[in-house]
Amino acid sequence: MSKNVRILRCRPEDVFDVLADGWLFTTWVVGASRMRSADIGWPAVGTRLHHSFGVWPLVIDDVTTMLEWEPSRRMVIQPKGWPLGEARVELTVEPHRRGCKVTIVEDAVAGPATWAPAVLMQPLLFVRNHETLRRLGWVSEGRASTH
């Protein structure tokens, strides 16, 4: 399991505006390279984003399913990127005196990634999710400044 925290200079609602727009997924998720489609109704529980990860021409089609959606507070998704496996990713957002505090927790839940020792996986996930939160911050803060 990997956990990252970042303070963003925007409101929790601004972060969830970005999360609610499935077409922005590849903008803030490190490794996601292109969007293919988004289910009608995203981000309702059970809807999916169809995207790919990797660098062309070595891309793998992936699907991310919304497991829990509590606007301005919490989102839980499950990306499926076989042959690597599946992960459970939880994003929580809390008000903070400088804007909001965003926490991302990721853990492998199925496939080969679950067999990898935590001592190997945690540093990789930590670095990736550090950048993911940085990108989410840029998009959320940038969109908030235009409203």
Q: Is the pLDDT of residue 84 over 90?
A: no
> What does the pLDDT average to over 87-96?
97
Q: Which of 27-36, 59-68, 77-86, 90-99 has the lowest mean pLDDT?
A: 77-86
What is the value of pTM for the model shown?
Answer: 0.92
CA distance 12 to 14: 5
Percent of the chain at pLDDT exceeding 70: 99
Q: Is the pLDDT of residue 111 over 90?
A: no
Q: Is the pLDDT of residue 147 over 70?
A: no
Residue 121's domain spans which residues? Answer: 2-145
Position 6 scores a pLDDT of 98
Mean pLDDT of the residues in the chain: 93
| Number of folded domains that form the chain | 1
3-34 residue pLDDT tens:
999 999 999 999 999 999 999 999 999 989 99
Q: Which two tokens stand for residue 52?
A: 């790919």
> What does the pLDDT average to over 126-144?
96
The residue among 65 and 113 whose pLDDT is bigger is: 65
Between 118-145 and 12-20, two packed helices, what is the crossing angle to 10 degrees?
A: 100
Q: Helix, strand, coil shares of the chain as percentages rounded to 5? A: 30, 45, 25
- Domain harbouring 115, CATH code: 3.30.530.20
Q: Is the peptide bond prior to 43 cis by the omega test (within 30 degrees of 0)?
A: yes
